[in-house]
Amino acid sequence: MTSPALEVTGLRKVFRVAEPASGFAARLKALFSPTWREVVAVKDIDLRVEEGELIAFIGPNGAGKSTTIKMLTGILHPTAGQVRVLGVVPWEQRSELARRIGTVFGQRSQLWYHLPPRDTFELLSHVYEISRADYRQRVGDLVERFEIGEFYDIPVRKLSLGQRMRCELVASLLHRPRVLFLDEPTIGLDVLARARVRDLLLELNRQEGITTFLTSHEADDIEEICRRVVIVNRGEMVLDIPVKELKHRFLQVKVIDLRLRELADPPAVEGVRILKKKGHGLKLEVDTTAVPIERALSELFKTLSIADIVVSDPPLEEIIGAIYTGEQSVNPPIGTCAVRAELVEAPAGDALRQAQGELEPERHGD
């Protein structure tokens, strides 16, 4: 059995925060003897990521994602727990680890703003002590794969966000990292640029087997890049599941878009409700826990003259959003299961077990 790229056991981080004092005397006193409050940012996270995995690590703002990434990259010391990234303890061997991991922080550039990307790449080749021959071969390969040749010699300040992000990725890959930490790499990019970055990351994973650890608020990124998703909330890991399964397990609703030949009202079927009705267009939502999709469709075909039909899942972002906010379902009026509500409210262990199917979700509403 090969050793994992990341192995995390009981990871915990507690910050001490000075309580703000009110009034001059209290503030003066607090300067010398502050009152401390403990904030648990990360609660006992267990995680194992195999080499070459593409994993999304997501959660709402303040969930503990950044703190976890900082511990995995050696920036922060944990309060408790064990971490091994590529076999090393990050905060003890930070410099050694730095040569084996790559990082892209969507909101912080590592490129020199007034100079062409070429200059930053050249600098990084020295920083990572890459031999000249290896650097020339590597940068040539990456420039070609990421198609940045046409703006390789143009100052970074003149590049579009998408072009810049491709250069950021090249910069993070020059030293052939084995693990890539991507913190919102598509933030601010337009649809086309996002798709391009996603394609490149997938291609990179296929060709070089780089383990990719991604945080993003973009559901498309998660769905299209990652095979597995870990959701954290309030410092706890609430879900660790394949992306495909996330949809199936948490999606008990389907959306049906119909184009009718003749105007008519849909039949009353339990678990089916109208979302939108305009002219010959009709949009319905089916709660598959109340009625199987086949039966709902068959009822519709019996009474309606249908010119066109599309059956789809609600977008992934709705599922994730519901998990974050603790809503009872992706579409609350119909109600599907209680898992999402308890993902946030219940202790991490229960929530995780429940999410992974050990506890039966209960029906709400109807």
Partner 1 sequence: MRSLAKYFAIARISARSSSTYLADLAGRTGFFILILFILSRVWDKLLGAGTVEGLKQRDLVWYLVFTESLLLAVPPFEQNIEEEVRSGSVAYLMIRPVHYLGHHLAAFLGEVSVRLSLNLLVGAPFALLLGGPPPAPPAGIPWALVATLLGLTLHFHLLACLALIAFWLEETRPFFWIYQKLLFTAGGLMIPMEFFPGWLRTVLDHLPFSSVLYAPARLGVRYDPALAFGLIARQALWLGVFVALSHAIYRRAATQLQVNGG
Residue 108 binds partner 1 (CB under 8 A): yes
**Stretch binding partner 1 (CB under 8 A), from 3-11, 74-82, 251-259, 318-326:** 74-82
Residues with Cβ < 8 Å from 178, sequence gap 6 or more? 5, 51, 86, 100, 101, 210, 211
C-beta closer to partner 1: residue 46 or 122: 122
Q: Binder to partner 1 among 67, 212, 215, 336 (CB under 8 A)?
A: 67
Report how far residue 349's alpha carbon sits from residue 352's, in angstroms, rounded to the nearest whole number.
5
**Stretch binding partner 1 (CB under 8 A), from 91-99, 199-207, 235-243, 350-358:** 91-99
Looking at residue 238, its amino acid is V
* Smallest distance from partner 1 to CB 35, Å: 15
* Smallest distance from partner 1 to CB 13, Å: 8
Residue 105 binds partner 1 (CB under 8 A): yes
Q: Binder to partner 1 among 76, 256, 316, 337 (CB under 8 A)?
A: 76
Report how far residue 35's alpha carbon sits from residue 158's, in angstroms, rounded to the nearest whole number.
49
Task: For the sheet with 101-105, list strands across it.
Answer: 101-105, 179-183, 211-215, 54-58, 228-233, 236-242
| 65 and 230 Cβ atoms separated by less than 8 Å | no
**Stretch binding partner 1 (CB under 8 A), from 100-108, 224-232, 267-275, 342-350:** 100-108
Residues with Cβ < 8 Å from 3, sequence gap 6 or more? 87
| 11 and 49 Cβ atoms separated by less than 8 Å | no
Residues 136-155 that bind partner 1 (CB under 8 A): 155
C-beta closer to partner 1: residue 117 or 314: 117
Report how far residue 134's alpha carbon sits from residue 138's, in angstroms, rounded to the nearest whole number.
6
Closest Cα partner for 130 from 99, 154, 93? 99
Q: Binder to partner 1 among 7, 44, 119, 317 (CB under 8 A)?
A: 119
Report how far residue 4's alpha carbon sits from residue 83's, in angstroms, rounded to the nearest whole number.
11
* Smallest distance from partner 1 to CB 255, Å: 41
Residue 127 binds partner 1 (CB under 8 A): yes
Residue 215 binds partner 1 (CB under 8 A): no
By CB under 8 A, name the binding residues for partner 1. Answer: 15-16, 41, 67, 70, 73-77, 91, 94-95, 97-99, 101, 103, 105, 108, 112-115, 119-120, 122-123, 126-129, 155
